[in-house]
Amino acid sequence: MRFTIVTLFPEFFDSPLEAGLLGKAIMRDLLSVVRVQLRDFTCDRHRTVDDTPFGGGPGMVMMVEPLVTALESLREERPDTHTVLLTPRGRRFSQAVALEWVESGDITLICGRYEGIDERLVQGGFVDEEVSLGDFVLNGGEVAALAMIEACSRLLPGAMGNEESVPNDSFYQGILDHPHYTRPREFRGMEAPPVLLGGNHAEIDRWRRQQALKLTRQLRPDLLEGMELSPADRKLLES
């Protein structure tokens, strides 16, 4: 899978792209992340990427021209890349979006900065979609880009230490992960559930599925609302 990040701060990504499993996925060529400095696509001596807003008001607006020049240059190399503008007003990122992107295989992420971006970037059809990390405002898209890249990297075959852990991840099947326990068996009067120590794997699977469903109902009932539970799951939740 390949990501191209268009940003004013390519160095922001230096250490996160080297660390941990994400760094390993890149080293093993399962994932490539190319950073593009937006200023390289300016034509003036000062490498200007922003200007004051028409109509007045505080802050600066990112100019459309350097962005379009960058995107058109990237499109020449990769005509099929899926181009995403990172902005708090976009479609909410989720595990489902991560799966879509992994499937598509080639994603360009544009990191907005400053107070906003000239609307003509979207109006002119230069981006395929707008995506947000959630309902809060960041200084720019860089932190969001990193979160999204990491979420996608976990879904790449061979990128995780333990492949089986991914299908159990929270949200993978639309519900939360089951609770986990390890040594000690008893901690300050709290026992680990005996079923986990009994060695009956069918029983353990059933218990985990039940706990995952119960936790989801308790902590994130909204996730269950749009879901068609199997008769077996419904029975587990009721018991």
Minimum gap (Å) between residue 127 Cβ and ligand 6GU: 12
Q: Has 14 been annotated as catalytic?
A: no
Q: Please name the residues in contact with 139: beta carbons below 8 A apart, sequence gap of 6 or more.
A: 113
Residue 83 engages ligand 6GU in binding (rule: CB under 6 A)? no
Q: Has 154 been annotated as catalytic?
A: yes
What value does the CA radius of gyration of the chain take, rounded to a whole number of Å? Answer: 22
Smaller CB separation from ligand 6GU, 54 or 136 = 136
Marked catalytic residue, from 169, 177, 217, 220: 169
Residue 98 engages ligand 6GU in binding (rule: CB under 6 A)? no
Marked catalytic residue, from 47, 65, 88, 128: 88
Residue 134 engages ligand 6GU in binding (rule: CB under 6 A)? yes
Q: DSSP string of 49-113?
A: -EEPPTT--SS-EE-HHHHHHHHHHHHHH-TT-EEEEEEEEEEEP-HHHHHHHHHH-EEEEEE--
Q: Quick one: which segment of 19-27, 33-41, 61-69, 130-138 binds ligand 6GU (CB under 6 A)?
A: 130-138
Pairing of strands 32-37, 2-7: parallel
Marked catalytic residue, from 14, 115, 119, 191: 115
Residue 87 engages ligand 6GU in binding (rule: CB under 6 A)? yes
Say if residue 173 is exposed, middle or buried (CB neighbours under 10 Å; 0-12, 13-18, 19+): middle
Spatial separation of the C-alpha atoms in residues 60 and 135, rounded to whole Å: 22
Say if residue 33 is exposed, middle or buried (CB neighbours under 10 Å; 0-12, 13-18, 19+): buried
Smaller CB separation from ligand 6GU, 148 or 175 = 148
Smaller CB separation from ligand 6GU, 129 or 203 = 129
Using alpha carbons, select from 85, 87, 173 the residue that is nearest to residue 133: 87
Q: What binding mask, one character per residue, do residues 137-166 give for ligand 6GU by CB under 6 A, x or -? A: xx-xx--x----------------------
Phi, psi of 132 (to 5 degrees): -120, 155
Smaller CB separation from ligand 6GU, 23 or 116 = 116
Catalytic residues: 88, 115, 154, 169
The footprint of ligand 6GU (CB under 6 A) covers 86-88, 112, 132-134, 136-138, 140-141, 144
